[in-house]
Amino acid sequence: MKKKSLYLIIFFISIHYIKAQDITFGITGGVNYSNIGTLFHKGPSGGNGVTPSEDVNYSANKEIGYHFGGYLKLNFNYFYLKPEVIYTSLKNSYDLALETSNWTQTEMDIALYFGYRIYGPITLYAGPSLSMISDRQLEGTENTGYATWSYEKTNLGIGIGATIEFGRFGVDVRYLYGFTKVEELGIDMVRAKYGTNLGTLIEYNPAQFIISMNIDIFSFGGEKKSKHVKSNWRDHKNL
């Protein structure tokens, strides 16, 4: 909670003291692929009747998730600051011996990106992102004396990406890397359905590959919006 409060305070102070040419509000949405850890299936030590009978590492299958949210762009002559609030749903799965187990996670991502226009409609950006996780599930797990399903509720990361703008529209490609590791977690699964009884989710750094469509809804401040593009950026001929 202290980390979250400090992050929000810094964000609002930055907006108060920095004077942009204009401020743009927009919405965004798209798809994402997430990277999670390996599931270790305990064979000989996993109990009676497990399938397979030997130890096996199962890598996660990357599934398509989705996200949507809103942003503000504080536009300057050469660059912008872009705070975002995004709802994200992540999906992965493990092809266990008898049946696939689905992994899901939902979170609210709060980010602050610094973007710079390198040429014409193309911008590069980077910045910190704080993920507040509301739910994480692995299908088929049970809370027993061996394992209790628990996880950290926040994750701090950094996003790096590029945007191509077409007037009020933009296509955005981003890689988001988590600094906060997801720690190793023991799991107890329904053996009769999945083959795995006892196992471990191996420690990993969460990461996402994200593709979005951005739409600028309205702007205020600066020059008249009939000159929206020019008020946001330099004419590329003068670069």
- Model confidence over 1-27: pLDDT tens digits? 555 555 555 555 555 545 557 899 999
Q: In this structure, is residue 238 part of a structural domain?
A: no
Q: In this structure, is residue 32 part of a structural domain?
A: yes
Q: In this structure, is residue 42 part of a structural domain?
A: yes
Q: In this structure, is residue 111 part of a structural domain?
A: yes
- Model confidence over 119-144: pLDDT tens digits? 889 999 999 999 999 999 999 998 88
Q: Give the number of other Cβ atoms within 10 Å of residue 218's Cβ.
A: 11
- Residue 112 scores a pLDDT above 90: yes
Q: In this structure, is residue 14 part of a structural domain?
A: yes
Cα distance between residue 43 and residue 54, in whole Å: 4
The pLDDT of residue 207 is 95
- Residue 225 scores a pLDDT above 60: no
Q: What is the span of the domain harbouring residue 158?
A: 2-233
Cα distance between residue 228 and residue 215, in whole Å: 14
Cα distance between residue 192 and residue 195, in whole Å: 6
The answer to whether the beta carbons of residues 175 and 209 sit under 8 Å apart is yes
The answer to whether the beta carbons of residues 221 and 21 sit under 8 Å apart is yes
The total number of structural domains in the chain stands at 1
Mean pLDDT, the chain, whole residue set = 87
The pLDDT of residue 235 is 44
CATH number (domain holding residue 39): 2.40.160.20
Q: In this structure, is residue 239 part of a structural domain?
A: no
